[in-house]
Structure 1
Amino acid sequence: MMLPVMHRSSMLIEKHVPLRGRLLDVGCGYGFFLKMMEMRGWRVEGIEIS
């Protein structure tokens, strides 16, 4: 599953952007990453072409 990749991505983002704010995910698919980041305190938006 994608959980290890999503976890590493979230840690990388939070390392370089320490203040949680807004997050845009382009090509978000079903939005699993956005949901995880929302639960971590981010305000999220996503866009998916399909």
Structure 2
Amino acid sequence: MNEAQLGLVISTPAILAFIVFMYRKGAMNFPGAVAAAFMSVAIATMLFLSQ
């Protein structure tokens, strides 16, 4: 695992935690939170596999 992949493994859960935090505080609605979580996981997966 190289440095870029390690960064993705560390940053993606942090992004997901931030999405959950924003949803619980009412800053995002449920469909927006689901879309943001799905897209962040999809982008991280694509970048992880292309490294």
- What is the TM-score with the length of structure 2 in the denominator? 0.33
**Structure with the greater relative contact order (CA < 8 A, sep ≥ 6): 1 or 2?**
2
- What is the TM-score with the length of structure 1 in the denominator? 0.33
More strand by percentage:
1
